[in-house]
Amino acid sequence: MYKLFLTLRYLLHRRITIVPILAVMLCVAMDLIVASVMGGFLDEVRSAARGLFGDVIVSDESLSGFGYYDTWTDADGKTHDGLIQYIRRQKEVAQATPVIETFGMIRLPEQKGFSKPVNVLGIVPDQYAQVTDYQKSLYYQNSPNWTGLPSFDQVPDPVTGKPVPLQPPGATTAAPKGLVLGVRVLWPKRDEKGGFPREELRPGTEPVQLTVAPIRASGMADTQGAVTRNFYLVDTSHTRIQQIDQMACYVPFRDLQEYLEMGASARPDKDGFLSPARATRVLVKTAPGYTTDQCRDAVARAVKEWKRDRLTRLFGAPDAARQKMQYYEPFTWQPPDYVVRAGDTIHLRFPGQADLNQDLAVADDGSIRPLKLDAAIRVAGLPLAQVRAMLAMRYEPVAHGGGFASVVLNPNFGVQAKVWEEANEKYFSAIENQRFIALLMVGVVSLTAIALVWVIFVMIVVEKTKDIGIVKSVGGSAGGVMAIFLIWAGLIGLIGTVLGGALGSLFVAHIMGIEQWLSHLLHTELWDPSAYLFETIPARFRWNEMLTIGGGAVLAAMLGALLPAFRAGRMSPVDALRWE
């Protein structure tokens, strides 16, 4: 009881207590501001990224892309479903759209006069707008007068603003093509009014030359096959993410696919093989009422089903065609010398005996357990050809005629569904790391507060030596005396936290105002948007961060006081009383 009582008396009557309180306050405020700004930054990147990429991203992470993403026609003229159809069948999915991503160069109209590298996205604009925030980033095609979804071959009527067909003055082609550029591709810096002169640009009049080079199915860029085409600028896109606004170039999906030679071949080659059309990504929007994770799982199921169906077709194909097909397949087909590993899947297909078909996962102990056979077989570490021979021997009694086919799929390769966060994991974890480092640095600075608490408590304990002797002479225990100083320090941490929390959250709430005021005062622009991702300083307050920081501050203050408090507890009563 006396511990709390004495602590409160001391806290109220010793002026020196103010010093560590102020130190804790400043550290807490600083920690909170850094956590809030870094956290706000991360949140903004996340929400912007989500708006840009859609909820779920399906890709094989290559620039050459994958086949059978959309309906396709076989050599007999029969049409089959592609990945998008499998995905759209899921009730958790609202929309799915293919995207081709590549790099290219643009030449802007003569008065702008220079070439620029761009990140080229082939999109189906109406679908793309249903999956991402694309339309929100546009200027003309997002105005109230624009009825309907974005389009590459429509421009606003100069009077009504309603969509009318794109007809550039003096254009010779029958069907002129439209293109959309990020605002900062055109205007790298903001004007004096802090904006971009987007209204000055007359949509559908400015010609832009785009050059892209095809990426072969093998993954190599083919510069010989590079094509240059004329487009007309129909709108600009402003996502507020610097990196995207200065690199983005949106063009019609089919056209880009054609330039990159990613379209379907018109007729079968001599082996009877028809190469399929390719895309680099399929973006998916979650249906209302479902979470992104539910959607991702549904898409993953669809991808699995689609892969299984593809696999079945693959085994039916002649060997020569199969060799070519593997470039376009959603999985990687391993050669006979491939060494089997745990985690691989061995697919067995028995022509004419579908009941024997099975997919065997290689277990962690390196074994597989074939259906209809008695024992597990160890396969990890063996070349695929040898595993095949072992299986052939065992299956002879049950499989009659025709033998069987096998293929190993490495599950870490091929087309995969990821939520937008996972797909951009590297980027996010980089920012997360930056945030951690910033917090760590602030934490190190906060160590000085611990040192200060320590020094002050060394002083306080010396000054209070006689009091310690008195308390001990009336029966106070070592732990009790120690507690007095620890509670004292804890209260210092607590009061500092409350004050610092108030200061920090006020700062966070008015961060832009403070920035403007400082900029005005110093006659420089402190926050240069071109140097950062965003145009305003992102900051937000989180209670859990506040509580963590506060808890840390209280613990840190107590830590600082620990040694002096321990010393105080161990003093002998006479020595303490004798002390002058």
Partner 1 sequence: MLVRQLAKTYRLGRVDVDVLRGVDLSVKAGEFVAIIGASGSGKSTLLHLMGLLDRPTEGSVSFRGQDIHRLSARRRNHLRNRAFGFVFQFYHLLPELRIVDNVLLPAMVSSSTLGWFSHRRRLRAAAVESLTLLGLGHRLGHRPAELSGGERQRVAIARALVNSPEVLLADEPTGNLDATSGSAILDVLATLNKERGQTVVMVTHDPKVAAYAHRTVELRDGRLRAATG
- Nearest distance, CB of residue 569 and partner 1, angstroms: 11
Interface residue with partner 1 among 228, 323, 434, 572 (CB under 8 A) is 572
Tokens of 355: 């009941």
Q: Which of helix, strand or coil describes residue 175?
A: coil
- Nearest distance, CB of residue 17 and partner 1, angstroms: 12
Nearer to partner 1, 20 or 178 (CB): 20
Taking the C-alpha atoms of residue 435 and residue 455, their distance in angstroms, rounded to an integer, is 31
Tokens of 214: 């095809």
Burial class (CB in 10 A: 0-12, 13-18, 19+), 182: buried
Q: Which of helix, strand or coil describes residue 510?
A: coil
- Nearest distance, CB of residue 481 and partner 1, angstroms: 10
Taking the C-alpha atoms of residue 282 and residue 261, their distance in angstroms, rounded to an integer, is 18
Using rule CB under 8 A, residue 92 touches partner 1? no
- With CB under 8 A as the contact rule, which of the stretches 117-125, 375-383, 404-412, 571-579 interacts with partner 1? 571-579
Using rule CB under 8 A, residue 170 touches partner 1? no
Q: Scanning residues 12 to 41, which ones bind partner 1 (CB under 8 A)?
A: 13-14
Tell me the pairing of strands 93-107 and 79-80.
Answer: unpaired
Q: How many residues bind partner 1 (CB under 8 A)?
A: 26
Using rule CB under 8 A, residue 577 touches partner 1? yes
Q: Scanning residues 468 to 527, which ones bind partner 1 (CB under 8 A)?
A: 469-478, 480
Using rule CB under 8 A, residue 569 touches partner 1? no
Interface residue with partner 1 among 162, 369, 466, 510 (CB under 8 A) is 466
Taking the C-alpha atoms of residue 451 and residue 454, their distance in angstroms, rounded to an integer, is 5
Using rule CB under 8 A, residue 570 touches partner 1? no
- Nearest distance, CB of residue 19 and partner 1, angstroms: 18
Taking the C-alpha atoms of residue 509 and residue 496, their distance in angstroms, rounded to an integer, is 19
* 284 DSSP β-pair partners: 56, 96
Using rule CB under 8 A, residue 430 touches partner 1? no
- Nearest distance, CB of residue 37 and partner 1, angstroms: 42
**Structural element, H or E, at residue 59:** strand 56-59
Nearer to partner 1, 296 or 472 (CB): 472
- Nearest distance, CB of residue 474 and partner 1, angstroms: 4
- Nearest distance, CB of residue 6 and partner 1, angstroms: 8
- With CB under 8 A as the contact rule, which of the stretches 2-10, 342-350, 488-496, 505-513 interacts with partner 1? 2-10
Taking the C-alpha atoms of residue 187 and residue 341, their distance in angstroms, rounded to an integer, is 52
CB 21 within 8 A of CB 518: no
Burial class (CB in 10 A: 0-12, 13-18, 19+), 220: exposed
**Spatial CA neighbour of 419 closest among 250, 298, 239:** 298
Tokens of 436: 């951690």
Nearer to partner 1, 9 or 91 (CB): 9
Which residues sit at the interface with partner 1, rule CB under 8 A?
1-2, 4-6, 9-10, 13-14, 466-467, 469-478, 480, 572-574, 577
